[in-house]
Amino acid sequence: MRSRLSLFASCVLLVLLSGFVLFSPERVMLHMESRQLQGGKVATVEARLFYEAYDGRLITKFYRPAGQVMVTNRHGELTIYDEEDNSVYRTQSVEYSSENNLVYYFLSGRTQDLGLREMGFSNSRTDFEDGLMITRWDPPSSLNHLFSYIELVHDDYMPVYAGYYDAGGKLVKKVYYDDYEIFSDLILPRSITEFNYLASGDSIVSRVRLSEIRMNRQAESSWFDFKVPDDARIVE
């Protein structure tokens, strides 16, 4: 079902974009391209994102796969609209919140912990090495079955690396943030590369590139006012 596929693509996007900022822009629009490599096959997701800070509304217009529009907000209310058959799928969960993604963490200035503190993680160690700040974050008891700890590395107060260790202490995910660009209202990594190591020994490599960033008065698009048509068919 197309809506289910769109939901999967949306979840991938939210995860990739989970991990902007100095003065919190009120409105941001940008182009995003994500490529995921697994088993010699490449899957590409391309979209434009439209975010408004005052209500936390994030609109994602997909071009690959084409024809879908995703809308979410800070409450985790997720809507996926299929333009081709005029259908809509709705669901709600905290994991879909517009505040649980990389774009929001940078926009809100949460670059120190990338949202870990809000998830219940605590900073148990801080080291400095060759100009880098290395911090260790221990999980709350509710997440002990998933993580033993997460390591963050900052260069000049901006995150450049995150390492995720499973309950057994094995490194299972690495994320690199680079190609930072400084705007008047924003400091943003335009490249995010993620390595996920599977139990089978295989790995999934994902790379996100952000471009055409526009903020505040320069961020003008009718997509900020997008609404699902009243006659859209509801998909369960």
3-class SS letters over 109-154: CCCCCCCCCCCCCEEEEEEEECCEEEEEEECCHHHCCCCCEEEEEE
Average pLDDT of the segment spanning 73-102: 86
Residues with Cβ within 8 Å of 205's Cβ and at least 6 positions away in sequence, in order, are 36, 37, 38, 193, 194, 195, 196
Average pLDDT of the segment spanning 80-87: 94
What pLDDT was estimated at residue 125?
A: 96
Q: Look at the block and give the residue holding tokens 């008891």.
A: 141
Fold of 2-234: outer membrane lipoprotein receptor (LolB), chain A (2.50.20)
Q: Quick one: pLDDT band at residue 1, thresholds 50, 70, 90?
A: very low
pLDDT tens track for 92-124: 987 777 676 666 777 666 788 888 888 899 999
**pTM (predicted TM-score):** 0.79
Domain limits, the chain: 2-234
Residue 45: how many other CB atoms lie within 10 Å: 21
Distance, in Å, from the CA atom of 50 to the CA atom of 38, rounded to the nearest integer, reads 29
What pLDDT was estimated at residue 220?
A: 93
Helix (H) or strand (E) segment spanning residue 51: strand 41-52
Q: Is the pLDDT of residue 187 over 90?
A: no
Distance, in Å, from the CA atom of 150 to the CA atom of 55, rounded to the nearest integer, reads 30
The full DSSP string for 158-217 is: EEEEEEEE-TTS-EEEEEEEEEEEE-SS-EEEEEEEEEEE-TTS-EEEEEEEEEEEEEGG
Q: Which two tokens stand for residue 53?
A: 């800070």
